[in-house]
C-alpha cells in the first residue's frame, strides 16, 4: 500500500509530496526535488517513525526517493473552508501527515 506524505524542506522552504510503500519497513532517503537536500526517514509497521539514521548507514537503506519537481509548492496543502472536524477527516482521507 502506498501512502502520500507531505514533506517540508527546511533548506529551500518548499513543500512536496512523497508516496511511500508502507509495506516495506526500513530506511528511506527522500531527496528534495528542488534543492537535493536529503530527508532521512524510517518506516516501521506502516508509520513514519521519528528515528533518523546516519548517512553512511548504506546497508540499511531501502530506497532512494526522488519526487517530481512538479510536486513542489510554496505552501502546505490548501485546506478547505470547513470546520476542524471535517478538516481532520479530510486529512485522514488523503493520508496526509506532517513530516
Ligand atoms: Zn529543498
Q: From ligand 1's centre to the CA of 23, what distance in Å?
A: 26
Q: Domain for residue 99, yes or no? A: no
In the chain (99 residues long), the average pLDDT of successive 10-residue segments reads: 89 93 87 94 83 60 89 79 59 57
pLDDT computed for residue 45 by the predictor: 84
Q: From ligand 1's centre to the CA of 34, what distance in Å?
A: 5
Note down the domain range covering 48: 2-94
52: CB partners within 8 A, 6+ apart: 40, 41, 42
Compute the distance between CA of residue 92 and CA of residue 87 in angstroms, rounded to an integer: 9
pLDDT computed for residue 57 by the predictor: 55
| Cβ atoms of residues 90 and 82 within 8 Å | yes
pLDDT computed for residue 72 by the predictor: 93
Q: Domain for residue 79, yes or no? A: yes
State which residues have CB under 5 angstroms from ligand 1, the bound ion: 9, 11-12, 32, 34-35, 37
pLDDT computed for residue 85 by the predictor: 60
The pTM for the full model equals: 0.68
Q: From ligand 1's centre to the CA of 15, what distance in Å?
A: 8
Q: How far apart are the first and last CA of the chain?
A: 18
Q: Domain for residue 18, yes or no? A: yes
- Give me the number of domains the chain comprises: 1
pLDDT computed for residue 61 by the predictor: 81
Amino acid at each position: 500500500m502506498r501512502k502520500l506524505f507531505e514533506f517540508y524542506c527546511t533548506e529551500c522552504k518548499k513543500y512536496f509530496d512523497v508516496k511511500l510503500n508502507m509495506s516495506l519497513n526500513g530506511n528511506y532517503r527522500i531527496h528534495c526535488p528542488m534543492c537535493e537536500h536529503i530527508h532521512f526517514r524510517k518506516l516501521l509497521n506502516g508509520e513514519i517513525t521519528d528515528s533518523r539514521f546516519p548517512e553512511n548507514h548504506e546497508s540499511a537503506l531501502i530506497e532512494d526517493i526522488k519526487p517530481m519537481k512538479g510536486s513542489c509548492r510554496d505552501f502546505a496543502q490548501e485546506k478547505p473552508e470547513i470546520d476542524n472536524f471535517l478538516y481532520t477527516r479530510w486529512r485522514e482521507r488523503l493520508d496526509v501527515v506532517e513530516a
